[in-house]
Amino acid sequence: MRSIYALLLLLLAAISAAAQTTDPLRRQGESTIIAFQMADSSKYVSVCQSQSLENSYIVYRFGTSSKVELEYPKDLSNSWNEFESSYYFRGGGASNEGLDLNYIRFTSGSWEYVVYQEYSAESSTTSVGIRLTRLKDGKKYDLHGKPDTLQGSLVPLRDNDRIPKGDPPN
C-alpha cells in the first residue's frame, strides 16, 4: 500500500513539474522577474535579475532558447539605470473596475519598449506583452503575450530602489 502512495506522489510531482512553464531565456545565476511566451509564436520575453548582490543587474531578452534576438543592455554594469518601472493601482474589485497595471520601459536604438502586465478586476483578466514605439514617427505596435505562460511579476519592482520610477505610459 505504501508503494502505491509513493508512486502516486511521484506521479503527481512529475505532472506538476511538467505543467509548469520554465523561462527558456533565463541564465544560470539569474532569477526571473517576468517571462511569457508571445502569442502565436515560439518566442519569449524575459526580464531577469542576477542573484548576486555584488554584481547586481537586470536584463531583457527576446527570442527562443536557441536564439536570443535581442538582449538589453549589452553592458550590465549599470543596467538598473537603463530601465524605468511604473505602475497604476486602483483597488475596489470588479464593482470599482479595479486595475493593477505594471510596466517596465527602456529605449534601444530607435525603439521604446514597454513590457506590460495588466490586470482588470472587472473582467478578471490578465494581459501581458510588449508595446513598441518607433521614436522617429511615434508609430505604436502592441505585441501580445500568452497570459497562461506568465511567470513572475512586475509588481515587486514597485519597491525595488535600484530601478528608477516613472509615470505609467499613455
Instruction: Kindly provide the residue ranges of all beta strands, DSSP E only, lying in the chain, ordered along the sequence.
Output: 30-37, 44-50, 58-63, 68-72, 84-90, 99-108, 111-120, 125-134, 140-144, 151-152
pLDDT band of residue 20 (cuts 50, 70, 90) is very low
Q: At residue 114, what is the residue type?
A: V
Which of 128, 131, 123, 129 shows the shortest CA–CA distance to 99?
A: 123
Which of 151, 153, 89 shows the shortest CA–CA distance to 121?
A: 89
- Distance, in Å, from the CA atom of 64 to the CA atom of 67, rounded to the nearest integer, reads 5
pLDDT band of residue 144 (cuts 50, 70, 90) is very high
- Distance, in Å, from the CA atom of 64 to the CA atom of 74, rounded to the nearest integer, reads 18
DSSP class of 29: T
Residue 149 clears pLDDT 90, i.e. is over it: yes
Region 95-104 average pLDDT? 91
Residue with cell 554584481: 55
Region 72-101 average pLDDT? 92
Least confident range of 52-56, 128-132, 150-154: 52-56
Residue 7 clears pLDDT 70, i.e. is over it: no
- Are the C-beta atoms of 168 and 103 separated by less than 8 Å? yes
- Domain residues of the chain, as ranges? 23-159
Least confident range of 42-46, 93-97, 129-133: 93-97
pLDDT averaged over every residue in the chain = 88
Residue 16 clears pLDDT 60, i.e. is over it: no
Give me the pLDDT at residue 21, please.
53
Region 96-119 average pLDDT? 95
Give me the pLDDT at residue 93, please.
79
Helix, strand, coil shares of the chain, percent, nearest 5, are 20, 45, 40
Give me the pLDDT at residue 5, please.
38
Which of 120, 129, 119, 127 shows the shortest CA–CA distance to 47?
A: 129
Between the ranges 3-7, 22-26, 42-46, 49-53, where is the mean pLDDT highest?
42-46
- With a CB cutoff of 8 Å and minimum separation 6, the contacts of 66 are none
Region 65-89 average pLDDT? 96
Residues in the chain: 170
The two beta strands, 30-37 and 84-90, are unpaired
For 88-97, write each residue's pLDDT tens digit.
999 887 777 8
